[in-house]
Amino acid sequence: MPVSRHRKKKHRANHSGWDERVGMIRQVAHFPLRECLINDDWAEHKLASISFARDRPDGRVAVASFMVDVGCLGVKSAFANPSITAEQYKQRLVSWQPTKQIPFGAPCAVKLILGALEYARELGFKPDPDYFYSREIFGDIDPAGCEETFEYGMDGKPFYVPGPHDNPDRIVNHLTKKLGPDGYRFMMPFGDGDAQDLF
């Protein structure tokens, strides 16, 4: 069936907007790295909230944030803004992060993200589409500069803890179909950050 002119025009507009976002983040990727942060309990909970900030010459800050499930799903969400004020950046650190943020080596942060991305891809899970423009903030950060090794999953198996925006039934069914009922671990949260290990 032929594609209507309206649909073609909409597709071109969406593609143009995507290219614009990629370009905007790419333009700030060479600015000095202000800091890279991660939540202090990421290894325990297998969920990493990672942010990169770069100082712009005009005194503003370029930022990108990634919510990374290192147990199963990979990059669950991503966001980047090429220009916010320093005050907005400070407020963001206080109000947007439910856990304490600590400095983390940028090469290790990129390595952790890429490893989680690949682990999830092998399981059949795709990253948040916004990852593909937000990742431009990495610039020339080389993950090969990180000597740390990271565990994905837990005890050799994918480890899934449902988040508030997940479809647990769909994800569990996918894991069961791909790995069998004993091929992964599933933990259901039941309040105040606690969780119940079901299998």
- Please tell me the distance from the alpha carbon of residue 136 to that of residue 75, in angstroms, as a whole number: 15
Region 105-113 average pLDDT: 98
Give the model confidence (pLDDT) of 62-94 as tens digits.
999 999 999 999 999 999 999 999 999 988 776
Domain residue spans of the chain? 32-147
Q: Is pLDDT above 90 for 98?
A: no
- Quick: pLDDT tens for 15-34: 556 578 888 999 999 999 99
pLDDT digits (tens, 9 = 90+) for 121-154: 999 999 999 999 999 999 999 999 999 999 999 9
The CA distance from 181 to 199, in Å, is 9
pLDDT given at position 7: 43
Q: So what's the pLDDT on residue 196?
A: 40
Summary mean pLDDT of the chain? 87
CA distance 42 to 46: 5
Question: What predicted TM-score, i.e. pTM, was given to this entire model?
Answer: 0.85
Please report the pLDDT score of residue 11 as a whole number.
43
Tell me how crowded residue 72 is: count the other CB atoms within 10 A of its CB.
25
**Would you state the structure tokens that stand for residue 21, as one six-digit string?**
């976002």
C-alpha distances out from residue 10 to 3, 5, 6, 18, 21, Å? 11, 9, 6, 12, 17
Q: How many CB atoms lie within 10 A of CB 158?
A: 24
